[in-house]
Amino acid sequence: MRISQKLEYACRALSQLAKRHDKKSITRLDELAQREAVSANFLVQILNDLRRAGLVDSKRGKEGGYHLAKEPSAITLKEIVDAIDPALLVFSVSSEGDSGPGVAQAWKSLAEDFQKNLHFITLEQLATTQGDSMFYI
């Protein structure tokens, strides 16, 4: 499976914010970019998309930065995909020809299963690797 770099970076940035989620901590853009080895210019575009989707909040100014808009356990991978790369969920297989309907049905079934599973994976799970626990600053 191939996901966009933008979606990957969004998941990584959100994971960083989830690790610092205590509803008070603000994480600066340059810190996020450095921790995830991502261009700050690209990351700000991603964070703006996530803000418009209601997944992150931002604060301007000298003490500004980003924080999650809701609990990591309440943010699903489906919401992240919808905010950043909704084309990933578009099903487009032709059902032409004798074999087309059967092939299309197989791919449609896999696409539906994929979309269902996105609802069950939370940001909390993405941010917590095996053996790690969430930490708060």
In a domain, 136, yes or no: no
Q: 3-state DSSP call for residue 8?
A: helix
Give pLDDT tens digits along the chain (137 positions). Answer: 788 999 999 999 999 999 988 767 899 999 999 999 999 999 999 999 999 999 999 998 888 899 999 999 999 999 999 999 998 888 788 889 999 999 999 999 998 999 899 999 999 999 886 444 444 43
In a domain, 137, yes or no: no
Number of domains making up the chain:
1
Long-range contacts of 1-5 (CB under 8 A, 24+ apart): 3/85, 3/88, 4/84, 4/85, 4/88
At residue 135, the pLDDT reads 44
pTM assigned to the model = 0.85
Query: One-letter amino acid identity for 48?
Result: N
In a domain, 62, yes or no: yes
CATH number at residue 49: 1.10.10.10
Domain housing 66: 5-127
In a domain, 52, yes or no: yes
At residue 25, the pLDDT reads 81
In a domain, 26, yes or no: yes
In a domain, 94, yes or no: yes
In a domain, 76, yes or no: yes
